[in-house]
Homo-oligomer: A and B are copies of this chain.
Amino acid sequence: MTRTESRPESTPTLRWEDAFSPAGRRLSSSAIREILKITQAPDVISFAGGLPAPELFPMDAIRQAASSVLDRYGPAALQYSTTEGHLPLREWIAARVNIPPANVQIMTGSQQGLDLLGKVLIGEGDVVLVEAPTYLGALQSFAPYGPRYLQMQTDEGGIDLDALEEQLKTTRAKLLYCVPNFQNPTGRTLSLERRRRLVELTARHGVIVLEDDPYGSLRFTGEEIPSLYELALEACGGPDGSHVVYSGSFSKVLVPGLRDAWVQAALSLVRKLVQAKQGADLHTPTFNQMIIAELVHDVMPAQIGRVKAVYGARAQTMMAEMKAHFPAGVTHTVPQGGMFLWVTVPEGLDTTPLLERAVARKVAFVPGAPFYALGGGENTMRLSFSSANDGQIARGIRALGETLHEALA
């Protein structure tokens, strides 16, 4: 059979662009992903990525856990398993906030939680409230489902509750998405008072809240604040009355490459997520869940301590270097935890074209604009302090300072 014989003249050539569904057409490549490509030259000091520090990974403990899991469970560690997830892991998660394991669904990374929550909750045109700026990955997960984004005003303390209260008077919103602890991208944290008010206000207006909390355990300064989810448990009559849905992850406190995370929610929603997950990947890898379950009791608490200490010190180094080397008029947030801080340069200076000049000086950041669902933030940038060491931070921030001085001259 030759090609000419088998493809008659009348055969239409398939144009994939025309074949994509409306959801498929709403997808686009992450702006950041393209940016990260240009920042990945080996001699560039990158504050651009959001990678946990690999030198802190508990390699021996994971090697040991993988082996123990195979000893203990045998072939069951590598067999199909339940969609809901490995029960001992769900029990551990549930016990943290004193809810039944039935309210916990294991996810293949918190990105899957965002995707499946988007799938079962967001219909075309539904209003989704997001911080300005917000986590880019959430925008990407929700996009295929056709949300109408509205930005919430934010200030140094995160979401501006007065502005939100006004907004909710005139807007019927379906979902409010936020990262209350050490937000990606800004590093900002929502105060207890604002949290209480957010929970009350959204309950009153019937708005579902998706609290994304991958960094919550990584507080290196200041006092712990209860999660929106915990406040809602108290205020709304337990796990099945909560309109707050909590997304947690092991990626930042253990390792990201095993892709293990979870969602805590009301049972009616968890049941729907189970159905969605059956169709999405049947279940999170059995082996990986069992490895994580081995680590949560003893290894993880110590690991969190190490990570917090290192990230806290790196954030301090970065802020000290910025103070010494950044031009006047350039400001930054002061994170109490997590992996990121947020830099604002004078109005009128666009950080996107600046990136190329920074990379020429062997330092990289992420321009802030892509983190805004509806535009804005051209004079901002995100810096990650998690994965560069002190020496790299010092050299990188100096180079970035030179870039900024030059641009502002």
Cβ of A295 to closest chain B Cβ, rounded Å = 12
CB neighbours (8 Å) of A237 from chain B are 3, 7
Contacts of A27 in B (CB 8 A): 120, 272, 275-276, 279
0/1 string, A53-93, CB within 8 A of B gives 1: 01101010011001100100011111111010000000000
Q: Say yes or no: B80 contacts A59, CB within 8 Å.
A: no
Q: Which residues of chain B come closer than 8 Å to A259, judged between CB atoms?
A: 108, 281-285
A280 B280 Cβ-Cβ under 8 A: yes
Contacts of A143 in B (CB 8 A): 279
Produce 1/0 per residue, A258-288, CB < 8 A to B.
Answer: 1100000010110110111011111111111
* Interchain CB contact (< 8 A) of A24 among B74, B121, B140, B200: B121
Chain B residues, Cβ within 8 Å of A374: none
Q: Which residues of B contact A206 (CB under 8 A)?
A: 12, 14
Chain B residues with CB under 8 Å of A22's CB are 123-124
How far, in angstroms, from A118 to B198 measured CA to CA in the complex? 36
Contact B28 A275 (CB under 8 A): yes
Main secondary structure of the interface of A (DSSP, over half): helix
Q: Does A309 contact B (CB under 8 A)?
A: no
| Residues A108 and B281 in contact in the complex (CB < 8 Å), given A7-B203, A54-B76 | yes
CB-CB under 8 A for A144 and B279, given A1-B235, A54-B75, A285-B257: yes
**A111 CB-CB contact with B under 8 Å:** yes
Query: Please, which residue of chain B has its CB at the minimum distance from the CB of A56?
Result: B75
- Cβ-based interface call for A170 (8 A): no
Given known contacts A235-B7, A279-B111, A21 and B122 CB-to-CB distance under 8 angstroms: yes
Is B279 within 8 A of A141, CB to CB? yes
| Chain A 1-41 per-residue mask, 1 if CB under 8 angstroms from chain B, else 0 | 10100111011111011011111100111100100000000
In the assembled complex, 21 residue pairs joining A and B whose CB atoms fall closer than 8 Å, in A order, are: A3-B236, A21-B121, A24-B119, A24-B272, A54-B74, A54-B78, A57-B75, A59-B75, A62-B78, A63-B70, A66-B70, A78-B256, A79-B257, A80-B251, A109-B282, A111-B281, A140-B279, A141-B279, A257-B285, A258-B285, A259-B282
